[in-house]
A and B are shown apart, each in its own frame.
Chain A
Amino acid sequence: SSMNEEFLKKWQMGLQIFSPSIDNTSVSERKRAIKLSADVAMASLRKGTTCWSRALIQKTATEDNFLVRQMLSGIKEEPLINKKLPKVMCHRKIVRRSKKILMRRKSRSAMEEVAAKKLVKKKTQGLRNVVPGGEFMSSNVLLIQETLDYIISLQTQVNVMKSIVDAAEAGIER
């Protein structure tokens, strides 16, 4: 709950920074402002200790550098960027053919094992695509740690936003 309040405070600060600089009559602009400030608030709660938070901040910095600098001005300096994981580009047909040759003698159970491992690898790659900064995480252990933290932060973000929306609607209803 303290995290909720901190997030709310930072989010409000971000929105106040935003409001003079955007055109208030356009819905899409407002939505973008809200989302950006919420994301940066969520990421800054971690104060640079997690990989996803730094990646998220860098992503939003590409969209609106000024806002990010203002929001983070009280907290810390520019976070470092990690080296991107080298993605090996394989020619798929050749790889597939060589794998078939290797597997010709193996038993069926081994093939199933290999297929299962392939599937798991695919899924972890999918997870890397979803979690911000996933391509920079070098090990699976790190990836899962970051996912845990990211999920928790997302949950707080969603909870706080839901409460605000409901409060706004309740206010309008009156």
Chain B
Amino acid sequence: MLEGLVSPESLSLSYADMSVPERLKWLQQLQQQEVLSQSSNDSPELLQILQFHGSNNDELLQSTFSHFQMLGSGFGTNYNMGFGPSHEAMDGCISRTGSCQIDPADTMGVMLKNSEENRAISLKTKRKSEVKTREQEKTEKKIKVEAETESNMKGKSNMSNKEAYSDTLKETSKGASEIQKLDYIHVRARRGQATDRHSLAERARREKISKKMKYLQDLVPGCNQVTGKAGTLDEIINYVQSLQRQVEFLSMKLAVLNPELDLSVEDLSVKQFQAYSSNLPVIVASKPLIMVDVPLFPLDQQGSLDLSVINLNQTTTIEAVRFYHSENFSDYSKFLLLVWEVTCLLYLFASAIYKLGNSVT
């Protein structure tokens, strides 16, 4: 937990309000000391402390840092940690007692932060309003909004996830303060935007979604040209569908090529293994075969078909036919392959024409 605390601190400095940097540092030092000294506390004690203080101040900072980490190291095992096992609906109406049911490590952190914050807030003179969004490792999404005054602490309000995208306009200038919990997402409210708890939480959700959509845009080829949610979603849907179709096509091909259902590794040459490691599809240079690839019928901006690509595919059909006939294939499997590939081509034609028709209307 200590390393987890160390990493977002650098981010917290950037998020921190410039007018209170010293308070931040003081808090961080406190927090480190607290963690070191209280490493062996057990949760029931801390629960009592929390109730005694009567505050439910969960000031937490979460990164996106964890997301960046995941992306940077590849979507391997790291990514799983971001997900967690359960994806139950988090329409979190979490009461304070409910929040105490989270796992002991988290409660400990929460309690620690609460005690520190009490001390910190007693020193504070400024009025702030903040939004925190929390993401547990088990992906329970809870949205908590905090507003503080000089003299007293307001109670925590818990909200359910909103599906509506509504913006209310109010003129207030925001400050934002920090941290500590690595699981919390820290959102700074901007000037000219509502401080209403609901809309702030909604905005946090929306920003999360748009961030993930950006990752998706990087992943899906050809998604950068389209702007707007609907277009990118459309591209994503098409891409996923084409990948699924590719899987079907490849499994069919493999079924034809491989009469015995074994993928014996000895058959594979060294070249194939190198191809695996580079994570690129292997292209057999001698005989280009038809693959149902995504950019097969690229449509330009106006949606007209790129006819040169079609001609290319026709020539590759002919080549492939020649290839298959020259080998010792059984006639039946050759025939099957031909039929399959012709149907694939026809299907692609049809889908391209459908797209063209759609774009025209």
Query: What 1/0 flags go to A131-162 for Cβ under 8 Å of B?
Result: 10000111111101101111110111111111
Which stretch in A11-19, A67-75, A90-98, A101-109 binds the other chain? A11-19
Contacts of B250 in A (CB 8 A): 158, 161-162, 165
Give the distance to chain A from B12, nearest Cβ to Cβ, in Å: 23
Nearest to A47 among chain B residues (CB) is B80
B residues 265-320 in Cβ contact with A at 8 Å: 265, 267-269, 272, 275-284, 286-287, 289, 291
The answer to whether A149 and B261 touch across the interface, beta carbons within 8 angstroms, is no
Main SS of chain B's interface residues? helix
Q: Which chain B positions have C-beta within 8 A of A4?
A: 276-277, 279
Which of B29-37, B86-94, B110-118 lies at the binding interface?
B86-94
B residues 113-158 in Cβ contact with A at 8 Å: 139, 141
Mark the stretch among B99-107, B186-194, B232-240 that contacts chain A.
B232-240
CA separation between A123 and B259, bound complex, in Å?
41
B-contact bits for A15-30, CB 8 A (1 contact / 0 none): 1101100101001101
Interface residues on B, range: 35 or more
Q: Please give, as numbers and ranges, the residues of chain A lying within 8 Å of B327 by CB-CB distance.
A: 172-173
Interface SS of chain A: helix, strand, loop or mixed?
A: helix
Instruction: Report which of A24, A140, A172 forms a contact with B209, defined as CB distance below 8 A.
Output: A140
Chain A residue with the shortest CB-CB distance to B232: A123
B216 and A144 form a contact (CB under 8 A): yes
CB contacts (< 8 Å) of A117 on chain B: these are 165
Say yes or no for A167: interface residue by CB 8 A criterion. yes
B220 and A123 contacting across the interface, CB-CB below 8 Å? no
| Shortest beta-carbon distance from B44 to chain A in Å | 30
Chain B residues whose CB sits within 8 angstroms of the CB of A164 once the complex forms: 254, 263, 268
Contact yes or no, A159 B281, CB < 8 A: yes
**Docked complex Cα distance between A22 and B255 (Å):** 13
B73 CB-CB contact with A under 8 Å: no
Bound Cα distance from A164 to B272, whole angstroms: 8
Chain A residues closer than 8 Å to B268, beta-carbon distance: 163-164, 167
Distance in Å from the Cβ of B243 to the closest Cβ of chain A? 4
In the bound complex, residues from chain B placing their C-beta under 8 Å from that of A167 are 267-269, 272, 282
Selected contact of A24 from candidates B260, B280, B287, CB within 8 Å: B260
Residue pair A169, B257 in contact (C-beta under 8 Å)? yes
User: Whole-angstrom distance from the CB of B122 to the nearest CB of chain A?
Assistant: 36
How far is it, in angstroms, between the C-alpha of A163 and the C-alpha of B278 when the chains are bound?
A: 12
User: Nearest chain B CB to A24's CB is how many angstroms away?
Assistant: 7
User: Do residues B257 and A139 form an inter-chain contact, with CB atoms below 8 A?
Assistant: no
CB contacts (< 8 Å) of B2 on chain A: these are: none
- Give the Cβ gap from B129 to chain A, nearest Cβ, in Å: 24
Task: Please tell me if the beta carbons of A163 and B289 are within 8 angstroms of each other in the complex.
Answer: no
A149-B215 Cα distance, complex, nearest whole Å: 11
Query: At the interface, yes or no: B205 with Cβ under 8 Å from chain A?
Result: yes
Instruction: Judge whether B251 and A163 touch: CB under 8 Å.
Output: no
Which of B246, B261, B287 is in CB contact (< 8 Å) with A33?
B261
Q: Is A116 an interface position by the 8 A CB rule? A: yes
Q: Contact residues of A with B, CB < 8 Å?
A: 1-5, 8, 11-12, 15-16, 18-19, 22, 24, 27-28, 30-31, 33-35, 38-39, 46-51, 82-83, 116-117, 119-120, 123-124, 126-127, 130-131, 136-142, 144-145, 147-152, 154-173
With A30-B255, A142-B87, A147-B236 given, can you name 12 additional A-B contacts, CB distance below 8 Å?
Answer: A2-B76, A3-B76, A35-B247, A39-B247, A49-B83, A127-B240, A148-B215, A151-B239, A164-B263, A168-B254, A169-B284, A172-B257
| Top-7 shortest CB links A-B | A138-B89, A123-B233, A30-B255, A31-B255, A161-B250, A34-B251, A35-B251
A-B CB contact pairs (8 Å), 17 listed: A8-B263, A12-B263, A15-B262, A24-B260, A123-B234, A127-B237, A139-B90, A142-B87, A145-B212, A148-B216, A149-B75, A149-B79, A154-B244, A158-B246, A166-B283, A172-B257, A173-B287
